[in-house]
Amino acid sequence: MQHDPYKHISKFLSLVLRHQPEKIGLRLDVQGWAEIGELIEKSAASGMRFTREELLETVRTNDKQRFALNPGQTAIRASQGHSVAVELALPVMTPPETLYHGTVEKFLESIRSGGLQKMKRQHVHLSANLQTAGQVGARRGKPVILKVRSGDMHRRGHIFHISENGVWLTDAVPPEFLEPF
Ligand code: HQG
């Protein structure tokens, strides 16, 4: 992949917009939005300097489109991946029949008994395609891809959302909705 000159900003934004806004004294509203002027100011005060233009370029060029701007471009939020409590207010969506989850071998026993849990995040993250699931799993080692019977889950009343950058989100996947592995 090509070198990403904004990677350090993207990593920093993931930290403060998903996990630790308090680290720089940043306020997120209930839907996870931070005011851009305040973000730039508080980031600089913490030693992370970037301009508004650099911030907008980071959002525009991000490989996974991790961040979203409000229409007036006065606020920014992470599209998914939060550990802090946020109400993303995403519409409820009918999922495809099958979704995928990339993980690694060492979690399989626990997933087999307890299903997929959101762990530290606000949702379980699922992908519509195998390739993305493979990349998600590969962050932790040799990827193992699990097949989720999301159509059946939906018919049984489980709620699904899709993030602005195409990640499927749900509260939990009970083990009976995982294809045997
Ligand atoms: C595992 C990235 C034991 C789960 C990606 C995963 C994604 C269990 C880990 C987004 C379990 C949690 C999220 C259970 C689940 N017992 N382990 N019952 N249930 N697990 O990082 O899905 O690049 O919170 O398999 O692209 O890996 O950051 O979730 O391995 O969209 O934008 O517990 O993060 O996006 O790990 O990744 P995570 P994830 P970014």
Once rounded to an integer, what is the mean pLDDT over residues 16-40? 98
| Ligand 1 pocket mutation pick from 10, 99, 119, 144 by most atoms within 8 angstroms of CB | 119
What is the domain-level CATH number for residue 59?
1.10.10.970
Please report which confidence band the pLDDT of residue 113 belongs to, taking 50, 70 and 90 as the band edges.
very high
What is the residue with the minimal CA distance to atom 35 of ligand 1?
81
Domain count, the chain: 2
Taking the C-alpha atoms of residue 39 and residue 52, their distance in angstroms, rounded to an integer, is: 10
Last residue of a domain, one of 19, 46, 78: 78
Q: Is 11 in the pocket of ligand 1 (CB under 6 A)?
A: no
Once rounded to an integer, what is the mean pLDDT over residues 5-11? 97
Range of the domain at 61: 7-78
In a domain, 87, yes or no: no
Is the overall model pTM greater than 0.90, yes or no? Answer: yes
- Cα(92) to centroid of ligand 1, in Å? 21
Same domain, 64 and 125: no
In a domain, 12, yes or no: yes
Q: What is the pLDDT of residue 67?
A: 98
Return the structure tokens found at 170.
Answer: 């749900």
Instruction: Using DSSP, state whether 176 is helix, strand or coil.
Output: helix
